[in-house]
Amino acid sequence: MSERLTIRRPDDWHLHFRDGDVMREVVPYTARQFARAIVMPNLTPPVTTAALAAAYRERILAAVPEGGVFTPLMTCYLTDSTDADDLARGAAEGVFTAAKLYPANATTNSAAGVSNVEKIYPVLARMEAEDIVLCIHGEVTDHHVDVFDREKEFIDRHLRRIVESFPKLRVVFEHITTSDAVDFVLEAGPQVGATITPQHLHINRNAMLVGGIQPHNYCLPVAKRESHRLALRKAATSGSPKFFLGTDSAPHLKKDKESACGCAGIFGAPHALESYLTVFDEEGALDRFEGFASLHGPAFYKLPVNEDTVTLERAEVAVPPVLAVTGEAIVPFHAGTTLGWRFVG
Ligand code: DOR
Ligand code: ZN
C-alpha cells in the first residue's frame, strides 16, 4: 500500500473566491494546494466584462501569500446582454479563460444570469468560432421542476441542443451530480467534459436531510441519491479524460448557512486534495488520481500541465470544526472529522 503520493501540481477547475476581506482570507487555502483555478464570476455585481475581470484578477493576485505562485483563470458571467466583442477581446488578451452560463436564479448571485438559453445562441456561436470554453451550471429553474430533477431536465431541454447546435464549442458541465450527467458526458464528443466536486463524491442527500437538517452539506446542485454518488465515483476514478477536479469551493459564513434561509455552498478548499484522494484510495484508484487532478483539466482547456509537484502522505488529519475568516466562522467541508491523507506540500 503506498504511503506517499507525488503528482504534478493540480489545478481547481471551478471555485468561488468571493471578493474583499473574505477573498483575501480564502485565496491562500487554494494557492497552497493548486497552481491555477477557474474563478467563478458570481460576485455582486457580477463579473460581466473584461475590464471587471482584469481588476478582479489583480485583487486575487494581491491576496496570494508572499512567495506563492498561483494563477487565477477568469470567467465571464453571461447575461442576456453579453457583449460578444468584449468577451472575444478579453479572451484574445488572456483575461478570460472561459465564460459561465448561469440560468437566471439557479443559484447564489445568479439573478443577472441568462433568462432563456436560446437568447444567447449568438454569443455561443461566437464562442465556438473563437474557441472559448463554456462552463455551464446545468439546472433548470422552473418552480414546478423538483430540485432533484433539475439537472436531468437541463440536459434534456438545453444541453443536448447546445452541444448539437455548436459541435465545436468546448463545454464543461460543471459540478455534475447525477448518473444522467455522467452518461451524457460519456456519450458526447471530446469537446464535452465535466467537473466533479469532493462533496458529490462523499455525500448523498441523506447527509443533508437525515438526523436533522444539515445546512453545511447543502450546495447546488444538491447532492442526489446514493446511486448517483456511486456513478460519480466511478466516473471520477475511471481514468476518462472527460472528468476533472473542480471543488466548487463556495465559502459562506456559518451564520448565513445556519439561517432560516441558508445559503448554498460548501467550503471545500482547505482540505480539497485530501478529500479527493480519500475517494480515490477507497476506490483503489490511486494511480488515476494524477489524471483527474492534474492532467485532464489542462488537456481540456488546452493549457500546459504544471511542472512542479505536490506530495500527500497517509496520515491522520483533523479538520477543524470551524475556520476563522474575517473574524467570523466558516465551516469547512469535513469539519470536525479526520481524513486519512495529509497534504505535505
Ligand atoms: O452551492 C453552490 N454555491 N452552488 C453554486 O452554484 C454557487 C455557489 C455559491 O456561489 O455559493
Ligand atoms: Zn460554483
CA of 250 from ligand 2 middle (Å) equals 7
Give the H or E element holding residue 79: none
Q: What is the pLDDT of residue 108?
A: 86
Nearest to 34 by CA among 193, 183, 249, 178: 249
Instruction: Give the closest ligand to the alpha carbon of residue 251.
Output: 1
CA of 124 from ligand 2 middle (Å) equals 20
First to last CA, the chain: 21
Instruction: Give the closest ligand to the alpha carbon of residue 252.
Output: 1
pLDDT grade for 2, boundaries at 50, 70 and 90: confident
DSSP-H helix ranges across the chain:
20-33, 50-62, 84-92, 121-130, 150-154, 160-165, 179-187, 198-202, 206-209, 226-236, 254-257, 272-282, 289-290, 296-301
Q: How much is the average pLDDT of 25-34?
A: 98
- The span from the CA of 10 to the CA of 245, in Å, is 8
Answer yes or no: are the C-beta atoms of 41 and 60 closer than 8 Å. no
Instruction: Give the closest ligand to the alpha carbon of residue 150.
Output: 1
Q: Is the pLDDT of residue 1 over 80?
A: no
pLDDT in tens, 85-136: 999 999 999 999 999 999 999 888 999 999 999 999 999 999 999 999 999 9
How much helix, strand and coil, in percent to the nearest 5, is found in the chain? 40, 20, 40
Give the H or E element holding residue 205: none
Q: Please, what is the average pLDDT of the chain?
A: 98
Query: Cell 471578493 belongs to which residue?
Result: 19
- Site residues for ligand 1, CB cut-off 6 Å: 16, 42, 107-108, 137, 219-220, 250, 264-265
Q: Which of 107, 137, 173 to mutate to test the pocket of ligand 1 (most atoms within 8 A of CB)?
A: 107
CATH number, domain at 266?
3.20.20.140
Q: Which of 102, 220, 259 to mutate to test the pocket of ligand 1 (most atoms within 8 A of CB)?
A: 220
Q: Is the pLDDT of residue 33 over 90?
A: yes
- Total domain count for the chain? 1
Q: Any idea which residues carry the catalytic annotation? A: 248
Looking at the chain, the whole-number percentage of residues with pLDDT higher than 70 is 100
pTM of this structure: 0.98
Sheet holding 309-318, edge to edge: 4-8, 309-318, 338-343
Locate 135 and state its grid cell.
Answer: 462552463
Atom number of ligand 1 nearest to Cα 137:
6
Q: Is the pLDDT of residue 76 over 90?
A: yes
Locate 183 and state its grid cell.
Answer: 452518461
Q: What is the pLDDT of residue 250?
A: 98
CA of 155 from ligand 1 middle (Å) equals 19
pLDDT in tens, 170-217: 999 999 999 999 999 999 999 999 999 999 999 999 999 999 999 999
Atom number of ligand 1 nearest to Cα 251:
11
Q: How much is the average pLDDT of 16-36?
A: 98
The residue whose CA is least distant from atom 7 of ligand 1 is 108
pLDDT in tens, 217-274: 999 999 999 999 999 999 999 999 999 999 999 999 999 999 999 999 999 999 999 9
Q: How much is the average pLDDT of 68-96?
A: 98
CA of 44 from ligand 2 middle (Å) equals 15
Q: What is the pLDDT of residue 182?
A: 99
Residue 56: exposure state from Cβ atoms within 10 A (0-12, 13-18, ≥19): buried
Atom number of ligand 1 nearest to Cα 252:
11
Q: Which domain holds residue 311?
A: 4-343
Q: Which of 248, 249, 254, 263 to mutate to test the pocket of ligand 1 (most atoms within 8 A of CB)?
A: 248
CA of 266 from ligand 2 middle (Å) equals 10
Looking at the chain, the whole-number percentage of residues with pLDDT higher than 90 is 99
Residue 125: exposure state from Cβ atoms within 10 A (0-12, 13-18, ≥19): middle
Q: How much is the average pLDDT of 17-29?
A: 98
**What Å distances lie between residue 164 and 142, 188, 241, 242, 288, CA to CA?**
23, 9, 21, 18, 31
